[in-house]
Structure 1
């Protein structure tokens, strides 16, 4: 899996429903900034989706004032 750019971190965890699916959470300097809104079929797919969300968050003006 790719290296997550500093100061971001990704947490991927299994969810109860639907069974066998995963969710992610992104933190910037330890503070939660975004959580997945849908289940992902694999841990790798969840991680990939989280990396895409980080790339969007890193774009200038993309954070909607969340800091």
Structure 2
């Protein structure tokens, strides 16, 4: 899936060992970050992809 100009970054949480979080950037600028920590990298990626889909839906209505 081509997500340009958005990028999804999934990373280990610096605040909570063993948890993961994500950020969405548009042209490198932070647009959104996860508000909940996930227990696995895969869960964080799925949650971030859902948020990314919402970004595309919102952008399509403009």
TM-score, normalising length from structure 2?
0.81
Q: Which residue of 1 aligns with 2:51?
A: 53
Q: How many equivalent residue pairs?
A: 60
Gaps of 5+ in 2: none
Question: Which moves more between the two structures, 38-47 or 13-22?
Answer: 13-22
Gaps of 5+ in 1: 63-67
Runs ≥4 residues deviating over 3 A: none
TM-score, normalising length from structure 1?
0.76
Query: RMSD of aligned C-alpha atoms?
Result: 1.9
The structure that is helix-richer by fraction is 2
